[in-house]
Amino acid sequence: MIVIKNSRLRRVLRIVIPFVIAPLFVIAGTYLFEPKRQAFVALAIAILACVLFIAGFEHKKTGSRRLIITSIFVALSVIGRFIPFFKPTTALTIIAGVYLGGEAGFLTGAFSALISNFYFGQGPWTPFQMLAWGMIGFFAGVFSKFFIKSRFALIIYGVIAGCVFSVIMDVWTVLWYSGTFSKELFLAAVVAALPHTALYSVSNVIFLFLIARPMGEKLTRIKTKYGV
Amino acid sequence: MEILNAKNLSFTYPDEDTPALSNVTFSVSEGEFVAVCGATGSGKSTLLSLLKREVAPMGKMTGEIFYRSTPTSSMSPRDLAFRIGYVTQRPEQQIVTDKVWHELSFALENMGLPSDEIRRRVAEVACFFGIEDLFDRRTDELSGGQKQLLNLAAVVATYPDILLLDEPTAQLDPIAASDFITMLKKLNSELSMTIIIADHRLEEIIPASDSLLVLGSGHIIAFGKTRAIASSLRSNPHMLTCMPAAVRIYSELANDDDEDKIECPLTVREGRDYILRCFRQDIKMRKMPEYTHKKSEALSFRNVYLRYSRDSEDVLRALSLTVYESELFCIVGGNGSGKTTALLAASGLRKFYAGNIKIFGRDIRSYKNGSLYSGCLVMLPQDVDTLFLCSTVEKELRDAGTDADSLPFKFPKAILDRHPYNISGGEKQLLGLAKLLATHPRLLLLDEPTKGLDAWYKTKIGNVLRSLTASGITVVIVTHDIEFAAAYADRCALFFRGSVVSSDTPQRFFAENSFYTTSAARMVRGIYDGAITADDVIALCRANGQRNENKQSALTGVT
Amino acid sequence: MKGNETFERNNPASVFVYYICVVAPVMFTMNPVIITLSLVGSVFSSFIGQERIGVRFHIYMLILFAIMTAANPIFYHNGETVLFVMNDNPITLEATIYGTVSAAAVISVLYRSRSFTLYMTSDRLLYLFSILSSKAALILTMALRYAPLYARHARRVADAQRAAGLYKERNMIDDIVGGGRVFSATATWALEYGIVTAASMEARGYGVGRRTRYSPYAFKHADIVLTATSLLLLAVIITAGAGGSFDFTFYPRIVAPPATVLTSAAYTAYGILSFLPAILTVIEVVRWKYLMQKI
């Protein structure tokens, strides 16, 4: 449905919109736009970014085996979100990004947010969660060479991902509630979410430490066995 | 008219020296029902997957396959995909989408058909299969049998000429398997679809088939009309193991001049006719040593009630059952009769709300902190894959704290370096058993250990279990496989609606039942007493001897 | 057609458009009239449309409303009218009202989200995604199928490992390690048998040519009406909003925009939009009653 003919333009747009323009918009919006409109702008951008990314996926040649492995990761991270306290969702998104590429990482993150929210509740936060998790998966794919080489780098990325996810969601909470970005409310939200953020980061570290390598081995086996 | 033929087909998997198939040549005519049989590893699956190019494994293939005398290598992927349908075992994993209606339309969407056409075909197929009432259901809510029927329906929706089926009923219970095979017969006789099926449930498939293709280590041993091939197998006792009871009895008893005069019986009815016509009935029963159980109890249920949630129905209702030490005890019964639940309750995985369960005379609730599972009781689950998590069989054994040499049975060492998911179903069961025996249990609970296994592996598992009971371990098996229970159990119990309706030694148990019994017992019902396996029948027939005065009438053949 | 679900027979795309149209103004403005209409409309629709929203949700929303109303004056001290002083910080009337309106906006969106979640079954979601990308929709449908499958398998693995004596359960570290074993076994199983699904897809001709899409949802007359109505009403509201005619000022002092024809039109339009599910349900019920009389 959304088709941009020039493939180079499409590629550029698909990277630039979600990862450059969208965050810029959110930050600029805090100072430039009238109060209350920022939340709307941010939401519109989040939806746009997800839509662009997902629509772009259509035009790539992707074999059924890769599709299935991606959906297996989505399903695993969805059920991971039901584990109390320590959740492997982000870790799995990162692993998908590292071993299957940025695109699969994005889809794993975004779709596991979307599907699990059918149980945890959909709302305007869904596009933000999709974008936040999707970006975590995407960047894991971008830096995959690093992360395969060094487990330390991967675990550090896990910590950062945990914090970034929390911060993005806090920004959204503040924007949505008060319509405008306010430092006081943001700090309050960050402080309130601190235990969550810590738990996110800790579980990312635990799971990346425990499952990154075995999952990598399993994936490599599957990839060689079935020629993905 | 010839629809499919293979010429000099050979195939070798990568990293292997011996070919999985060599020089296979055969042809199938339109509307033919072909049963493919052979032991695990004889190349059945390889052959079927080579005939369906989309699922062909990687490796080196020589020879040619023709579809209506066009080589398949020169056909368009589109033609090939929709002319030849393919269904394998694992009903759960073959389903692609989450709703029944979507699953039925999936292949049609791939064909690129317009919506109206899809709607019509989906409706048509749903009616033919009688699954209209499942139309809006989620696929994961269906039973295994319904899932496999859905898989078949989804393939049939593209109007294929040929259906290839690779052990489609391996994971199904007998009733569901029977339904599935009935549907295949219907597709064959009403729509003249050509069917090529490899399966272990030959008791029902062989009578339905027109021709039989027997494979042995990658070669065609025999191929031709079913009855002719079945009677020619007399010279090949190894292949006989997997044949229906009637064929086995005939092959053991018929002598060379009978072969031309009396047709080989395939079904229970034909087998009964054959015995009635050809054998005397002077000796009614074989003298068998009476089975006596030990005094000490290994597992006992007393008036146990269990339900999964407060509002649901009781799954176990006043279940009372005693298993004595070093017995091989088989629990049989229909689906949903509470067999598996009883096993879960006995292994402490599900809580019962009334009654009590004793393990070696001690209340199950007094075993604390997993002490039940160390050196006392273990359970082999129905899905044995749930036990595996390492990358090789050897590591699996080490994970459980054992190795191939310290097991009470001979472990196939050739598979030690393989991935636990790359070994056959029978080998998986052996690996599962090996892991369980590492804890030195005194009581072994097994849920459907023979599901999907071929006759040879059933014998192997049966012998391993017998050797375990001989060494003093108590074995309790829940199974749908009454032929297995008849051959190996010390005692059997029939479950119905959550409690035991009868329990006895297999001789008495299966001889008393008329419906729920082995095909050998049904064959000689009222003729001989207490004969429940093909071997029993053969022994009795031999003891009685051929009926000379009636031999002339038998010569006219069995219809 | 009992009419217990308002949009049951509509095309998901038109319903999606409706939800966007009804939520957008609330995210866009802080006008108390719009927000009150939104809150009342969404709560009312949740009662009349679907009976599936539980009591617990209403109670939870009530508590959330109270907390969010109180939060703003505690952190924000703008506004002229000081009500009282708490911990050397003034609590102002303006901040309290702003908090109340904010909370009402959030709560009304939560109600809409709730009914949207209930409406958006997997079939409908997949329909929407297949408009966007059929591959993405396929990933989604498979993931939706796999998730319950894996959850069930994980439970079976936990049982199997326990009853095999392979799972120690003395302390918390054993539990974590045990959980890791369960996860690892489930993941292996998922990946190994995922290939069976891939083979089955390919055997059914996935990827041999252009796919078509079969869906049980047609875009019918009622959908055109719903989409057109939603967009038209939203256009009225945007026209009014763009002219700034319902910009409401809270700080330093509450100033309401002057009532003009345009603002009244916008309020009416939003009122209809907000109560649309309720209105449609009533129409449906009346029609049903009428049809029943003819039997």
pLDDT, tens digit, for every residue of B17-32? 889 999 999 999 999 9
- Facing B118 at nearest CB: one of C170, C210, C214: C214
Question: Do the Cβ atoms of B419 and A217 come within 8 Å?
Answer: no
Count Cβ atoms below 10 Å from residue A84 Cβ, excluding itself.
5
- Is residue A33 over pLDDT 60? no
Residue closest to B387 by CA, chosen among C170, C149, C171, C163: C163
Closest residue on chain A to B13 (Cα): A225
pLDDT tens figures, A166-217? 888 888 888 777 766 777 778 888 888 888 888 888 888 888 888 888 888 8
In a domain, C65, yes or no: yes
Reported confidence tier of residue B411, pLDDT bands at 50, 70, 90: confident
Cβ-based contacts of C68 with chain A (< 8 Å): 177
| Whether the bond into C252 is cis, omega within 30 of 0 | yes
Rounded CA gap, A158 and A154, in Å? 6
List of chain C residues whose C-beta atoms are within 8 Å of the C-beta of residue B151: 200
* C-alpha span between C275 and C267 (Å, rounded): 12
The verdict on C158 and C244 lying in the same domain is: no
The per-residue pLDDT for B370 is 76
Give Cα separations from B517 to B247, B485, B514 (angstroms).
Answer: 18, 10, 6
**Residue C252: predicted pLDDT:** 78
**Residue count of chain C:** 295
Mean pLDDT to the nearest integer, B465-474: 94
Percent of chain C with pLDDT over 70: 96
Report CA Rg, chain B: 25
Q: Across residues C275-289, what is the average pLDDT?
A: 87
Q: What angle do CA B56, A61, B65 make, to 5 degrees?
A: 20
Given a contact cutoff of 8 angstroms between Cβ atoms, the answer to whether C197 and C203 are in contact is no
Which chains lie within 8 Å of chain A at 3 or more CB pairs, if any? B, C
Q: Of C203, C234, C261, which one is at a domain's C-terminal end?
A: C203
What confidence tens digit (pLDDT) does each residue in B257-285 have? 666 678 889 999 999 999 998 898 888 88
User: What integer best gives the mean pLDDT of chain B?
Assistant: 89
Q: How far is B338 from chain A, CA to nearest CA, in Å?
A: 29
CA distance B390 to chain A (A): 9
Structural domains of chain C, count: 2
Average pLDDT over residues B405-433: 88
Do the domain assignments include residue C169? yes
DSSP state of B290: P
Confidence check: pLDDT of B497 > 80: yes
Would an 8 Å CB–CB cutoff place A83 in contact with chain C? yes
Question: What is the greatest pairwise CA distance in chain B?
Answer: 72
Residue A227 near chain B (CB below 8 Å): yes
Q: Residue C196: name the closest of B40, B123, B148, B325 by CA.
A: B148
Alpha helices in A85-143 (DSSP H): 89-100, 102-120, 125-142
Contact C159 B344 (CB under 8 A): yes
User: What's the rounded Cα separation, in Å, for the pair C49 and C58?
Assistant: 15
The arithmetic mean of pLDDT across residues B284-298, rounded, is: 86
Which residue from C minimizes the CA distance to A119? C117
Shortest Cα–Cα distance, A108 to chain C (Å): 9
Pairing relationship of beta strands B362-363 and C82-86 according to DSSP bridges: unpaired
Determine the 3-state secondary structure of B474 from DSSP: strand
Same domain, C99 and C48: yes
Give me the residue from A217, A221, A227 closest to B58, CB to CB.
Answer: A227
Does residue B312 register a pLDDT over 80?
yes
Do the Cβ atoms of A189 and C161 come closer than 8 Å? no
Residues of A within 8 A of C193 (CB-CB) are none
- Evaluate if residue B162 carries a pLDDT over 70: yes
Evaluate if residue A2 carries a pLDDT over 50.
Answer: no
In a domain, C74, yes or no: yes
> Cβ neighbours of residue B465 under 8 Å, at least 6 residues apart?
B328, B446, B449, B475, B477, B488
B171, B121 Cβ separation under 8 angstroms: no
Strands B328-333 and B474-478: parallel
Provide the pLDDT confidence category of residue A3 given band limits of 50, 70 and 90.
very low
Q: Which residue has the tokens 């299935």?
A: A68
Nearest-CA distance from C56 to chain B in Å? 21
Res. B63: pLDDT tops 90: yes
Q: Please count the other Cβ atoms lying within 10 Å of the Cβ belonging to residue C151.
A: 15
Residue C63 shares a structural domain with residue C148: no
Q: Give Cα separations from C242 to A34, A37, C247 (angstroms).
A: 12, 12, 9
CB-based contacts of C291: which residues, under 8 Å, 6+ apart? none
Flag whether residue C138 sits within 8 Å of chain A, measured between CB atoms. Answer: yes
Whether chain C has a CB inside 8 Å of the CB on A194: the answer is no
DSSP secondary structure letters along C108-148: HHHHHHHHHHHH--HHHHHHHHHHH-HHHHHHHHHHHHHHH
Range of the domain at C91: 6-121+221-294
- Chain C residues in contact with A121 by the CB 8 A cut-off are 113-114, 117
Chain A: closest CA distance from residue B20 (Å): 17
Q: Which residue has the tokens 């190996």?
A: B488
Question: Which chains would you list as touching C if contact means 3+ CB atom pairs under 8 Å?
Answer: A, B
Neighbours of C285 (CB within 10 A): 14
Q: Is B306 helix (H, G, I), strand (E, B) or coil?
A: strand
- For residue B435, the distance in angstroms to the closest alpha carbon of chain C comes to 8
Q: Do B58 and A221 touch (CB under 8 A)?
A: no
Position A146 confidence tier, pLDDT thresholds 50, 70, 90: confident
pLDDT of residue A16: 67
* Number of cross-chain residue pairs from A and C with Cβ atoms under 8 Å apart: 160
**Judgement on whether residues C156 and C247 belong to the same structural domain of the protein:** no
Indicate yes or no: CB of B391 within 8 angstroms of CB of A221. yes
User: What is the per-residue pLDDT across C53-104, written as a single tens digit (0 to 9) for each?
Assistant: 778 888 989 998 998 888 888 877 777 778 888 778 888 888 888 889 888 9
Supply the ipTM of this predicted assembly: 0.85
Contact C198 A65 (CB under 8 A): yes
Q: What is the pLDDT of residues C15-36, one digit of tens each?
A: 999 998 998 888 777 888 999 9
What's the confidence (pLDDT) of residue A4? 44
Residue C155 in domain: yes
Mark whether C35 and C67 lie in a shared domain.
yes
The rounded distance, in Å, linking the Cα atoms of A69 and A43 is: 30
Domain boundary among C149, C176, C203: C203
The verdict on C111 and C131 lying in the same domain is: no
Whether B430 and B328 have beta carbons less than 8 Å apart is answered as no
DSSP code for B391: S
Q: Given CB atoms, is B185 within the 8 Å cutoff of chain A?
A: no
Instruction: Please give the model's pTM, rounded to 2 decimal places.
Output: 0.85
Using a pLDDT cut of 90, give the percent of chain B over it.
59
Instruction: Give the residue on B whose Cα is nearest the Cα of A220.
Output: B391
Strand order in the sheet with B33-37: B84-87, B162-166, B194-198, B33-37, B211-216, B219-225
Chain B environment of A227 (Cβ under 8 Å): 58
The chain-wide mean pLDDT, for chain C, equals: 84
Contact at CB, B419 and A221, closer than 8 angstroms: yes
Per-residue pLDDT band for A12 (boundaries 50, 70, 90) equals: low
pLDDT at C1: 35
Say whether residue B418 is in contact with chain A using an 8 A CB cutoff: no
For an interface test with A, the pick among B140, B389, B391, B395 (most A C-beta atoms closer than 10 Å) comes out as B391
Structural Rg of chain C based on CA atoms: 26
Check CB contact under 8 Å for C200 and B94.
yes
Counting one residue from chain A and one from chain B, the pairs whose CB atoms sit within 8 A come to: 4
A225 interaction partners in chain C (CB closer than 8 Å):
195
- What is the structure's pLDDT at A21? 65
Contact indicator for B423, B467 with CB cutoff of 8 Å: no
Instruction: Give the pLDDT mean for B298-315.
Output: 92
In a domain, C211, yes or no: no
Residue C278 lies in a domain: yes
Q: If you write DSSP's letter for every residue of A29-58 in order, what string do you get?
A: HHHHSPTTHHHHHHHHHHHHHHHHHHHHHH
Mean pLDDT value across residues B437-445? 91
Q: Which chain C residue is nearest to residue B440, measuring alpha carbons?
A: C165
Per-residue confidence band for B559, with pLDDT thresholds at 50, 70 and 90: very low
Distance between CA atoms of residues B486 and B505, nearest Å: 9
Res B408: pLDDT: 84
Least-confidence region, from B104-113, B434-443, C154-163, C248-257: C248-257
Q: What is the pLDDT of residue A101?
A: 86
Are C117 and C140 contained in the same domain? no
Chain A contacts of C72, Cβ < 8 Å?
Answer: 178
Would you state the structure tokens that stand for residue B59, as one six-digit string? 């490796």
Test the C interface: residue of B109, B368, B437 with most C CBs within 10 Å: B109
Ordered by where they begin, the domains of chain A are 7-226 (1.10.1760.20)
Q: Does C249 touch chain A (CB under 8 A)?
A: no
Domain termination residue (choose one: C203, C237, C253): C203
Asked if C13 and C30 sit in the same domain, the reply is yes
Separation of alpha carbons B69 and B2, rounded Å: 8
Domain shared by C82 and C155, yes or no: no
Q: Do A227 and B391 touch (CB under 8 A)?
A: no
Secondary structure (DSSP) of B208-231: H-SEEEEEETTEEEEEEEHHHHHH
Rounded Cα distance, B101 and B135, in Å = 5
pLDDT category, A74, cuts 50, 70, 90? very high
Task: Average the pLDDT over each of A47-61, B117-131, B204-218 and give the range with the smallest value.
Answer: A47-61
**Shared-domain flag, residues C260 and C233:** yes
pLDDT of A179 reads 67
Q: Is residue C262, in this structure, part of any structural domain at all? A: yes
| Residue C210 located in a structural domain | no
Per-residue pLDDT reduced to its tens digit, B237-247: 888 888 999 99
- The CA distance from B516 to B533, in Å, is 14
Q: Hey, are the CB atoms on B98 and C164 less than 8 Å from each other?
A: no
- Residue A169: the pLDDT is 87
Window A:164-223, CB contacts with B under 8 Å: 217, 221
> Residue B159's closest CA among B193, B119, B109, B123?
B193
For residue B58, the chain A residues in CB contact (below 8 A) are 227
> Tell me, what amino acid is at A62?
T
CA distances from A208 to B86, B273, B422, C183 (A): 39, 68, 27, 13
* Helices C134-163/A64-80 angle, 10° precision: 60
What the block records as the tokens of C269 is 């339009």
pLDDT(B517) > 80? yes
Q: Give the model's pLDDT for residue B556.
A: 46
Do C149 and C178 sit in the same domain of this protein? yes
Question: Do C42 and C91 belong to one domain?
Answer: yes
Radius of gyration of chain A (CA): 18
- C258 pLDDT above the threshold of 70: yes
Q: Which of A39, A107, A177 sits opposite C136 (nearest CB)?
A: A107
Structural element, H or E, at residue B205: helix B202-208
pLDDT at position B557, please? 44
